[in-house]
Structure 1
Amino acid sequence: MTDPSQYVRERSGEGRRDVSYPAAPEALPVPVYDNHTHLEIEDGSSLSLDEQLERAVAVGVIGVVQAGGDVESSRWSAWAAASHPRVLAAVAIHPNEAPAYAAAGRLGEAIAAIDELAAQPRVRAIGETGLDYFRTDADGLPAQHESFEAHIALAKKHGIAMQIHDRDAHDAVLETLARVGAPERTVFHCFSGDETMARVAADAGYYLSFAGNVTFKNAQNLRDALAVTPLERILVETDAPFLTPVPHRGRPNAPYLIPVTVRFLAAELGLELDALCAQLAANTLAVYGSFAD
């Protein structure tokens, strides 16, 4: 792919979902950031990158961290960050992609490409990387572990944050971080653990990023985790176009819907909305640095 700006992929498994975008929520009183999104993925009636960012700014979401999951989407993420002052990038090989690269004999080549992208000034995180024991069978786990540890090394090498994808692999992820040493700024993207894991992660100095699924009826574990996470360790994200918060669950997600999740977090934590927004914004900047640089 010679022109990263032309890269786009469609969300799979549409079925009979309502793929129209929800109405914009009321704007937040203090601006925040979307800590993790995938704006290269088209879902339903697509919006351009400029349109996504304009909608977000209108409701007080003034920047996004655009995350890659393979070489091509990571190149697109780096391009988006270099092209737009409201975008920073995370680049990585997703744990579910690592086995395919390994099977083709290209995992080392792919990690080298991520290493090269990570040197760009507006690439501020390695992500999303980690372990996924839900979608990958036992044969693919060695490649996942090899890739995860290589990505940890890249985050340290470049002095940038790391965004972790952890699905059904909580103990293995925590063990790996403890054994090889976590990067200085480590984020559990779309945190999926429980209260006990939240305490362990926060005590280790990791950040917990909550997405729209914290609003789901069956996600009491996430609300329990939120309740014990120190405010200075909480981030918020969309993981768009996935995990759209209630009452829009199932429809396309986008950064402009962050206010729905933020208001839910404030209610759960018993905090004034403006105070939580200010804390979330400060946390984001502490992890990724200024969007203006």
Structure 2
Amino acid sequence: MLVDSHCHLDRLDLSAHGGSLDAALAAARQRGVGHFLCIGVSADNATAVKALAERYADVDCSIGVHPLDLEPGAEPALDWLLGELDDPRVVAIGETGLDYHYEPEAAALQQASFRLHLQAAAVCGKPVIVHTRAARADTLALLREAALPQAGVLHCFTEDWEMASSALDLGFYISLSGIVTFRNAEALREVARRVPADRLLVETDSPYLAPIPHRGKPNLPEYVREVAEFLAELRGVHFDALAEQTTENFRRLFPLARVGG
């Protein structure tokens, strides 16, 4: 069984499945995907992701505000985060983090929000899902500052081995998406070869970043199969072993998730 450890089910392009989320999830299940983590990115979609976790037994969700969804003067409040995280359907906090690639001018706002999410994670004990782009030093500095007792994950990892190693030293997991299949991603493939087997997750980040051979099309949770197959070949292990290992890793990282056998 595979787990899509990071997908945006409320944002999928469902045209390939007749506009039906039921059909899209059924297609993923037919390809061995047995669980989905639907990710919160803003206060606006918190209700939507919780509703999906309520609707489907094999869907859990997270709550958080993405660094690119922040608006000055409308930062998430700690009380709001803790209230949302108290919901049993919510198994993680995030995605949160830093993205200086698109909004370097918002660094201070992003850092304040990231600190707030990390503070909430320390209070509630739920794992944190971290988005980081073009912000290696500050991301690691804030994670060290937080010194969370529980593990978290750097999702859709695109950085170098030095950052991966530093995150692993902090107890974090590394999640790889379809980017690892891209032609120009050899540096990322080197990271993928070196991540310890017990710290590796797979994801689609759908509807974004479809893996080869689907690149250029809307991404779907069923395509986590392509990510896992590629990684199994890259790491020289049997597909079934990688699927079992990454699913066990997901269970360990997200102990509140309702992952079946």
TMscore range, shorter length? over 0.9
Verify: 1:143 aligned to 2:94, yes or no: no
Residue 91 of structure 1: which of 63, 80, 84 is its match?
Answer: 63
**Structure 1 CA distance, aligned partners of 2:135 and 2:32?**
34
Alignment of 1:152-167 (within 5 A): 152-167=118-133
**Structure 2 CA distance, aligned partners of 1:66 and 1:220?**
28
Residue 237 of structure 2: which of 236, 258, 271 is its match?
Answer: 271
Q: 1:162 touches 1:186 (CA, 8 Å); kept in 2?
A: yes
**Structure 2 CA distance, aligned partners of 1:141 and 1:61?**
37
Distance 1:90 1:209, change over 3 A: same
TM-score by length of 2: 0.94
Alignment of 1:6-21 (within 5 A): none
Partner of 1:107 in structure 2? 75
**Structure 2 CA distance, aligned partners of 1:108 and 1:235?**
28
Verify: 1:124 aligned to 2:91, yes or no: yes
The alpha carbon displacement at 1:153 in A equals 1.2
The alpha carbon displacement at 1:213 in A equals 0.5
Partner of 1:40 in structure 2? 10
**Structure 2 CA distance, aligned partners of 1:42 and 1:271?**
31
Partner of 1:75 in structure 2? 47
**Structure 2 CA distance, aligned partners of 1:209 and 1:264?**
14
**Structure 1 CA distance, aligned partners of 2:249 and 2:25?**
21
Aligned-pair identity (%):
35
Verify: 1:52 aligned to 2:20, yes or no: no
**Structure 2 CA distance, aligned partners of 1:202 and 1:47?**
39
Verify: 1:211 aligned to 2:177, yes or no: yes
The alpha carbon displacement at 1:266 in A equals 0.3
Say what the alpha-carbon RMSD is for the aligned residues. Answer: 1.6
Letter aligned with residue 145 of structure 2 = R
Q: 1:71 touches 1:114 (CA, 8 Å); kept in 2?
A: no
Q: 2:12 touches 2:220 (CA, 8 Å); kept in 1?
A: no
Residue ranges of structure 1 left out of the alignment (5+ in a row): 1-30
Residue ranges of structure 2 left out of the alignment (5+ in a row): none
Q: How many residues align?
A: 257
**Structure 1 CA distance, aligned partners of 2:153 and 2:25?**
23
Alignment of 1:192-271 (within 5 A): 192-271=158-237
Distance 1:108 1:279, change over 3 A: closer
